[in-house]
Amino acid sequence: MRMTFFRNLEEAISLKLPLGVYCKLANVRNRIRKKKQHLTPFRAHSIYKVEDGTDHIYICRRRRHNRYKRGVVAGVAELAKTYHLQLITIQPKSVIIDCGAIVGELGLWARQNGMDYIAFEPENLEADCVDLNAFDGAAQTHRKALWHSDTTLTFYSKPDTADSSVIDMGDSGVTTSIDAVALDGAVDLSIYDGTIVLKVEAEGAEPEVLAGAKETLLKAHYVVIDCGYERGVEKRHTFVESHSILSAAGFDLKAAFLREGRMLYAKKGLPCGQVS
């Protein structure tokens, strides 16, 4: 109990520190613990760079650097594994469409695997990080929400816990209006002859995203989706609705990470690796 109290107190204090001070203190702790991880402020009050001696990633929320305590590549690989991406077959001229990219970690994974990357992320700071991590700083991230049609929606922002959504969660203090688009009209997949992977993590809006991706689903080979307990105030899962849409579109469920609610679907007849 006492240890939890002091850990929570330390965390609360660290979140209020200027970013430069926060990075310095984290670096001191890393040196004491003999970790290679090093933090450097990139943008004075928002974005910082995490380096492990070989690789780096840009992030914009404090504490998130703990995801890379074993190294950037290891952290990205662990995330990809929760989406079962190690099970898919990758061919030349392949692409992954990342709906809910956060900071673009899967963009780094795509690059490692020779794939193109298309990212959608409506949170501005996170989208800045996607541009830095996946596109060498070029403004290529789609900063719009995805929906079943083109419209304007209320955006409920909760980025500190990566829970921002166009579905009212009941506990978000910041709301804005945001442009929303159907995926079918936002991407051109005609140049890709290889594997097309669609990843969907829409914090409860997965059925609406899939409803706006009918043409995309015709072309996609794999869909990885987070349909866990994140929809609205009731925190409902979206598995039943999402599974129904994907089954009707010709996909079979191949693997499930039940703790996270993350599923892998493959177009009927396509090979899929063995679950490890």
- Of 50 and 15, the structure prediction assigns the larger pLDDT to 50
Residue 182 is predicted with a pLDDT of 98
pLDDT digits (tens, 9 = 90+) for 92-121: 999 999 999 999 999 999 999 999 999 999
The fold of 75-267 is Rossmann fold (3.40.50)
What pTM did the predictor assign? 0.91
The segment(s) of the chain belonging to CATH 3.40.50.150 are: 75-267
| First vs last C-alpha separation in the chain | 37
Residue 6 reports pLDDT greater than 50: no
User: Average pLDDT, whole number, for the chain?
Assistant: 91
C-alpha 110/C-alpha 224 separation (Å) is 14
Question: Residue 9: pLDDT band by 50, 70, 90 thresholds?
Answer: low
Look at residues 186, 97, 89, 86 and name the one whose alpha carbon lies nearest to residue 134.
97
Q: How confident is the model at residue 276 (pLDDT cuts 50, 70, 90)?
A: very low
Q: Residue 178: beta bridge partners?
A: 153
